[in-house]
Structure 1
Amino acid sequence: MTKPLIVFGATSFVGQILCRYLHELNHDGELNWLMAARSEEKLKRMQQELGGPHMPEYRLADAANDTQLRALCDEAGVIISTVGPYALYGEPLIKACVETGTDYCDLTGETQWIRRMIDRYENKARDSGARIVHCCGFDSIPSDLGVWFLQQQAQKQLGTHCQQVKMRVRKFKGGFSGGTVASMMNVAKEAAKDSALRRELSDPYALCPADSKPTVRQPKIGAAMDEDVNSWIAPFVMEAINTRIVHRSNALLGHPWGQDFLYDEAVMTGAEKKGQSRAKRTALGQSLMMLGFAVPPTRWLMSRFLPKPGEGPSPEMQRTGFFDLVFVGHSSSTEGDNTGDSVGTKQTVRTTLYGERDPGYGATARMLGQAALCLRDDVSKKDKPGGFWTPASALAEPLIPRLEAHAGLSFKVVPESL
């Protein structure tokens, strides 16, 4: 019998959404999954809420209890962790999975923690066969698989890869949870005290293997007009993690998109004068937010008004949220003109990615659940052995149809004009 998925942190904000989603999927009782958390009272309450003939079993496990974590690993086909901030609570489970050869997925967006885990445990994961796949939520599945999908279309249409890809957030509706806020605050707090960490966080190749880091300078996004999408743009808040994951995917896949591959992300704010103003306000607002998180007095003040751990978007917002992303890829190639000289040409491929439900929670829970099922059921250890993978490098080809069939995502090729 297939070993179960285990949701660790089942009573957290995202964990509860994920458990409801898996329960809905398990209408025939064949999914085989369990819940795990440290509070038996909350787990029993979750069981009662789910109800029905296929109510999941639960296991007690605390992130600080190595014995309980290893017991989970011994039972699990894949462990899904929703226990964050991961930099504070995530390492013991990574250690247990690596030591027992257990596959693992999470939804972290904490670059500095991922780098630490790779440095400490990648060799052990390769030896034990544990496959660790971080960033299986809104950060960074849409970006990572969106680039992979566009590059597959580029090969079909152009016979080559795109040397530059831009991701633009066309529309977006969603909210923050207290867990996300806590993670962002912790990253800013760590960086404020450590100049080496600040340099690491500013490196677009921070998550690439040390022996295969490209050196090409990556685009730096500010408030600007982007002719490719006919809109003013501003920095996208998730860019700091998404770009690092995309570049790691390119490296782990053997640089199929080139050592000089360029990638950036931004939010579209409109083509009119108002779009320019919104772009400038957005760029300034993000800078001030991160500065506020880094300084103790303002961090304390902001924490009083932002969601607390366990709080987040309402069920209605989760249901009605969505995201609409545009990917624009440019090839870099040469062809001969009628004089026989070589002439540089640039061809363009455009794709879109639409996702139903609140990006960070409703959609993330579905993406995370499908990523774990894909890792357990669709990807053999012969094809993808132990190590630290990204969603695109480990799962892309079988995961995209899963996401379209069961998670409300739609990947499409679009004409030249948007």
Structure 2
Amino acid sequence: MRQHVKLPIGNLARRNPEPDGESAAMSDHDIVVYGASGFVGELVAKYLAEHAAAGTRIALAGRSEAKLMQVRQRLRVDWPILVAEAADEPALQKIAAATRVVITTVGPYAKYGKTLVQACAAAGTDYVDLTGEVLFARQSIDDNHELARATGARIVHSCGFDSIPSDIGVHVLDQQVKADGAGELTDTTLVVTSMRGGVSGGTIDSMRHQLDVVKTDGKLRRVAASPYSLSPDRAAEPDLGRQDDTATLSGPEIDLRLRGTLAPFFMASYNTRVVRRSNALRGWAYGRTFRYREAMSVGASPLSPVLAQVTRLGLGALMIGLSLPPTRYVLDRVLPKPGEGPDEKSRDNGHFTMDLFGTTTTGARYTARVRAKGDPGYAATAVMLGESALALVHDRDVLPPSEGGVLTPATALGDALVARLRSAGMEISAKRS
């Protein structure tokens, strides 16, 4: 599915800009936050205003100069303002050429993100976003991977709650296994053991858009359903049988410390594909028999089998409801709208804990944990996205080796992001059970 792109010679000038080198000097900005007047965009900009190293050159971008000026005033910064519509190719190309890293929070990305990501890939500009859209990510891989490799751009999708805890969690789990000489990972399960947070209106809107697309296109429906839909080469993937993201699981069968029945995790259908892409991009370093799934705890009471089944059916009903015009009309009136989000107190009271349980080819058992305070989709996501961009700006000497391309958080940022997130207060750990 990979598309090979012939580039004009001029596009090859900026390869892997160094933090204090000539390429940095040629850029007007270190980071541009596109969508800064949106709910999540302003949270990310606020995080950067409070935590970016002194001297980091940041600009705010979006389609409304007036709204961006209001954000700048609320943040009490004097950052430049850049105005561009999501479909304005010349304006977005100008933004990409003027900065080292673009952060974008403007979704659904399949509707509003294609022009910007291609502009960054062509300019050799690093890029991070929050997408959880399989079809957008797949198209970005097809359209931009070879282009970004030629220019050295690191295009890093899914740098928020989708899918950093999953991708980085498996990364540190694998590192511990290798440090101990315990073989390779095989069956690995992430379990959301605790979570509190609001539902993102942007996530719901992305879900609507993808459902509309697959409803009329059987080929795209098959792409969205494939467990290897984001892999660089599907034919090279091992045949590990069916990998179902919608099944209920027995907790004790995964680990004796897990009680009750586990429900499907609503983000598993995307996160699992990102993790499998990381494994493939690394030459299947996690293992050729690495099987990965995600689930969610609904408690250890005798009612957990019922609660797990209700959760599974509820997720299915939501998908069906958003696919049918009469029920979508009703759901649209009650579900959160794009740009809406919880208040500051609710964001601060949120949290998540994700525990990973892995078995290796030598029979050893390992666990990892990723835990953070703050609403997962808002407060914690602002930290993860902001630190991803800062790693690309300030930590290039310790980033994983890469020629560029459409990468994942683990393959593009790796240990540099782990260190930053730990410093920001997240728990990221792994150990032998």
Task: For 2:121, give the aligned amino acid.
Answer: V
Paired with 1:354 and 1:100, the residues of 2 have a C-alpha distance of 36
- Equivalences for residues 274-285 of structure 1 within 5 A: 274-285=303-314
1:46-99 Cα deviation digits (max 9, x unpaired): 111011xx4322111211111211111121110011110000010010121122
Structure 1 residue identity aligned to 2:372: G
Matching of residue 182 in structure 1 with residue 205 in structure 2: yes
Contact conserved, 2:182 with 2:364, CA < 8 A, in 1?
A: no
2:37 counterpart residue number: 11
Q: How does 1:247-266 map to 2 (within 5 A)?
A: 247-266=276-295
Query: Which residue of 2 is the match for residue 25 of structure 1?
Result: 51
1:218 and 1:400 map into 2 onto residues whose CA distance is 31
The offset of 1:409, in angstroms, is: 1.2
Distance 1:145 1:371 in 2: 12
Q: CA separation in 2, counterparts of 1:218 and 1:12? A: 39
Name structure 1 gaps, 5 residues minimum.
Answer: 334-345
SS in 2 for 1:163: strand
1:172 counterpart SS class: strand
Q: Distance in 2 between matches of 1:222 and 1:350?
A: 22
Identity %: 39
Residues 51-66 of structure 1 correspond to what in structure 2 (within 5 A)? 51=76, 54-66=77-89
- Per-residue deviation, 1:160: 1.7
What letter is aligned with 2:50?
Answer: E
Following TM superposition, by how much is the alpha carbon of 1:415 offset from its aligned partner in structure 2, in angstroms? 6.9
3-state SS in 1 of match to 2:298: strand
What amino acid maps onto 1:130 in structure 2? Answer: A
**Can you list the C-alpha shifts for 1:258-293, whole angstroms capped at 9, x where unaligned?**
222100000011222121221111111001011111
CA distance in 2, matches of 1:355, 1:181: 23
Instruction: Tell me the equivalent position of 1:309.
Output: 338
Give runs of aligned pairs for residues 59-208 of structure 1, distance below 5 A. Answer: 59-208=82-231
Aligned residue identity for 2:56: L
Q: Is residue 261–residue 304 contact of structure 2 (8 Å, CA) maintained in 1?
A: yes
Hey, what does 2:414 align to over in structure 1? 396
Asked whether the 8 Å contact 1:224–1:233 carries over to 2, the reply is: yes
**Residue identity matched to 1:25:** H
Q: Distance in 2 between matches of 1:372 and 1:264?
A: 28
Tell me the equivalent position of 1:338. none
Superposed CA RMSD: 1.7
For residues 310-325 of structure 1, what are the structure 2 equivalents within 5 Å? 310-325=339-354
| TM-score w.r.t. length of structure 1 | 0.92
Could you tell me which runs of 5 or more consecutive residues in structure 2 were left unpaired when the two chains were aligned: 1-19
**Gap change, CA 1:271 and 1:177, over 3 Å in 2:** closer
1:77-135 CA deviation, whole Å, 9 max, x = no partner?
10011110000010010121122111111010001111111112222112222221001
Counterpart residue number, 1:214 = 238
Secondary structure of the residue that 2:294 maps to in structure 1?
strand
CA distance in structure 1 between the partners assigned to 2:198 and 2:400 by the alignment: 40
Contact 1:205 1:214 in 2 (8 A): no
Contact 2:248 2:308 in 1 (8 A): yes
1:38 equivalent among 63, 68, 77: 63
Superposition misfits of 4+ residues, deviation over 3 angstroms: 413-416
Deviation of the 1:394 alpha carbon = 1.3
Distance 1:413 1:96, change over 3 A: closer
Aligned equivalent of 2:405: 387
CA distance in 2, matches of 1:413, 1:122: 31
Q: CA deviation at 1:382?
A: 9.3
- Whole-angstrom distance in 2 between the partners of 1:382 and 1:284: 41
Matched, 1:350 2:367: yes
Report the equivalent of 2:16: none
Q: Which amino acid aligns with 1:393?
A: T
TM-score of the superposed pair, with normalisation by structure 2: 0.89
How many corresponding residue pairs? 400
Q: Is 1:326 aligned to 2:355, yes or no?
A: yes
Task: Kindly indicate whether the alpha-carbon contact (under 8 Å) linking 2:365 and 2:432 is maintained by their aligned counterparts in 1.
Answer: no
